[in-house]
Amino acid sequence: PELCAVFHCRGCWTVLGDSLQLCAPEAPRLGFLTCFKVTNDVIWEDSLLIGLEEPLLGCAYNALSCRSCGLSVGFILHSAPSDLAYLRGLFCFFKDRILCYLLENQMVIEASKVDFPAVTLKK
């Protein structure tokens, strides 16, 4: 992969996942990254929540949080409108809640400032 990164919790630097597990195209308006797999340090609530604001308005989801510090880091969609249906069952990290350690240049950067290569799960 062109851009290899490890995703860390913004609150405590716990490793949550990596860019090798990225599986959906980034959508700038959404502000999150989507992964097939995450580490055991990502936990999710059993109860479903309903989104009351964009981009999750009307969606049913489980909240994801960091096991170490409890920071809310993302969600798993269970029910969504057709434009987000391809994300159901996947791990979505809020870009403003994670940091990226870029392996090639050994830098830490905010996830919101990183453009990952396009992937084609949606198609």
Residue 23 CA to chain centroid, in angstroms? 10
pLDDT digits (tens, 9 = 90+) for 42-90: 999 899 999 998 888 899 999 999 999 999 999 999 998 888 888 899 9
82 belongs to a structural domain: yes
Structurally, the chain folds into a number of domains equal to 1
Indicate whether 3 pLDDT > 60: yes
Establish if 123 belongs to a structural domain.
Answer: no
Question: What CATH number corresponds to the domain at position 70?
Answer: 2.170.150.20
pLDDT value at residue 120:
52
pLDDT value of residue 122: 45
Q: What is the pLDDT of residues 93-103, one digit of tens each?
A: 999 999 999 98
**Could you write out the DSSP letters of every residue in 8-74?**
EETTT--EEEEGGGB-S---TTT-EEEES---TTEEE-SS-EE--STTSTT-EEEEEEETTT--EEE
pLDDT value, residue 123: 43
Q: Report the DSSP pairing between strands 32-35 and 91-94.
A: antiparallel
Residues in the chain: 123
Cis peptide bond N-terminal to 25, omega within 30:
no
Structural domain range at position 101: 5-113
Residue 56 vs residue 11, higher pLDDT: 11
Q: Is position 120 within any domain? A: no
Q: Could you tell me if residue 122 is inside a domain? A: no
